[in-house]
Structure 1
Amino acid sequence: MADIFREIDEDVRRDRAIEFWKKHGNKLIGLAFLAVAATAGWRIYDYNQTQRAEAAGARFEHAIELSRAGDTDEAEKEFAAIAKDSTAGYEKLARFREAAEQAKQSPAEGIKTYDALAGDSSVAPVLRDLARLRAAMLAVDTSSMDELKSRLQPLLASGSAWGANARELLGLAALKAGDYDAAGKAFDEIITDRTAPPSLKQRADLLLGIVRSGPIKPAS
């Protein structure tokens, strides 16, 4: 008797499966084809992206070699080209290197490119702050203290990765201008900053010693 019920149950399940296939078979086949096509498309895309990244890496290395060889003009052109038509990662790196090459011949052009990076919302915040710092480093000899402070103010906020570097630059500019109080304040803030790198704290300590010794008086 149990065998009869089992056979009936199997027949019912088979009939249901046939009925389900009649209703949804074409849809299942279509979904299967879509899955295969999507997988193939992703593999093609991934392969193309890998090829582009490898090509961009080779071009970037070539541009660095040009820079090391002193061929600044060609290095700048190559970095500019990479920045325009390369993958996202190398595009950002190339823009930074382009600015560095420009600064060798024209600090003003380097500042302009760094400022563009600092204002580009597609660039990671920490890199935008780095661009601000490098622009300020180029502008330190030609800017007033107020202009320099305006450039570096965004980096002085709590938690900034480049805050200690910004304070060092402000301290050096103040020291050069003869403002020993402002210079001492900047260097002291670096020393008491728990997040500042040890090497930067050591430099600040040495510079603070110069500040404490006061201006060098001319020999009588």
Structure 2
Amino acid sequence: MVDILDEIAEDIRHERALKLAKRYGGLLVLVLILILAGVAGQEYWQAHKTKQAEAAATRYLALTQQVDEPNGDITPAQAETTAKTLITFSDTAPETYKTLARLRAAALYANAGETSKAAALWTRIGADEAAPTLLRDAANLLFAQHELGIAKDSDILARLQPMVQARNSYHGLAREMQAMAYLNEGNTAMAKSFFTQVQDDPSAPQGARNRAQAMLAKLNG
């Protein structure tokens, strides 16, 4: 009796399954097609992004080849021309290469004596929330290094503040620049405090530690 009941129950389940397939079969096929299309679309998008990144890398290297040569000296005019070309490239480049191109253009402007153009680019990069954090911090640090004594000390200190935490890769250099900014505005006590932090920080660059030690010796007379 139990076997017969099991067979009847199985027939009922099978019959219901057939009815469901007839009623919703088209919808299920559509859902399956959409899922497969989504997977294929995602794979296509990833492949497209990879292809874009490879093309951007090739273009970026071609644009910077001359300025990257070990013994390659370029004139200020050539540096400015290359900087303009890099900025044009950055307008359509993927995010990382866009930021790298702007950083390189800023460096070329700075080396060519076009400090205001360099500062504008560093400011633009530092404020770009889509840019990689490491590159944004580098831009803010470069701005501080080149604009100390030109820009407002309060502006420089504000840009450096997010970088002085120990977890930040640039914290040693950021603290050194904060000390210099405080010294520039006449706050010797704060300058000494930050120079001491740099001097005593084993993870800070050795050059920064040496400079901090020299500045403390000078300030302490």
TM-score under structure 1 normalisation?
A: 0.77
- Give the aligned partner of residue 88 of structure 1: 95
For the residue of structure 2 that corresponds to 1:110, the secondary structure is helix
Deviations 1:96-116 (A, max 9, x none): 112112212211110111112
- Cα distance in 1 for residues equivalent to 2:179 and 2:15: 86
Residue 205 (1) aligns with residue 213 (2): yes
Residue 122 (1) aligns with residue 130 (2): yes
Q: CA RMSD in A?
A: 3.2
Per the alignment, do residues 3 and 75 of structure 1 end up closer, same or farther by CA in structure 2, a change over 3 Å counting?
A: same
- 1:49 Cα deviation from its structure 2 partner: 0.9
Q: Is the 8 A contact 1:56 1:90 kept in 2?
A: yes
Per the alignment, do residues 50 and 156 of structure 1 end up closer, same or farther by CA in structure 2, a change over 3 Å counting?
A: closer
Gaps of 5+ in 1: 215-220
Residue 155 (1) aligns with residue 163 (2): no
Q: Number of matched residues?
A: 210
- 1:54 Cα deviation from its structure 2 partner: 0.3
Gaps of 5+ in 2: none
Per the alignment, do residues 50 and 179 of structure 1 end up closer, same or farther by CA in structure 2, a change over 3 Å counting?
A: closer
Of 93, 98, 103, which aligns to 2:105?
98
TM-score under structure 2 normalisation?
A: 0.77
- Cα distance in 2 for residues equivalent to 1:175 and 1:154: 16
- Cα distance in 2 for residues equivalent to 1:41 and 1:168: 49
- 1:181 Cα deviation from its structure 2 partner: 7.0
Per the alignment, do residues 31 and 174 of structure 1 end up closer, same or farther by CA in structure 2, a change over 3 Å counting?
A: closer
Q: Is the 8 A contact 2:96 2:131 kept in 1?
A: no
Stretch moving more, 191-200 or 60-69: 191-200
Q: Is the 8 A contact 2:63 2:86 kept in 1?
A: yes
Sequence identity percentage: 27
Deviations 1:71-118 (A, max 9, x none): 424431332123100111211222211211221221111011111222
- Cα distance in 1 for residues equivalent to 2:111 and 2:103: 13
Structure of larger gyration radius: 1
Deviations 1:190-209 (A, max 9, x none): 22457644553233224433
Letter paired with 2:82: A
Per the alignment, do residues 163 and 45 of structure 1 end up closer, same or farther by CA in structure 2, a change over 3 Å counting?
A: closer
Per the alignment, do residues 66 and 152 of structure 1 end up closer, same or farther by CA in structure 2, a change over 3 Å counting?
A: farther
Q: Is the 8 A contact 1:187 1:208 kept in 2?
A: yes
- Cα distance in 2 for residues equivalent to 1:171 and 1:30: 65
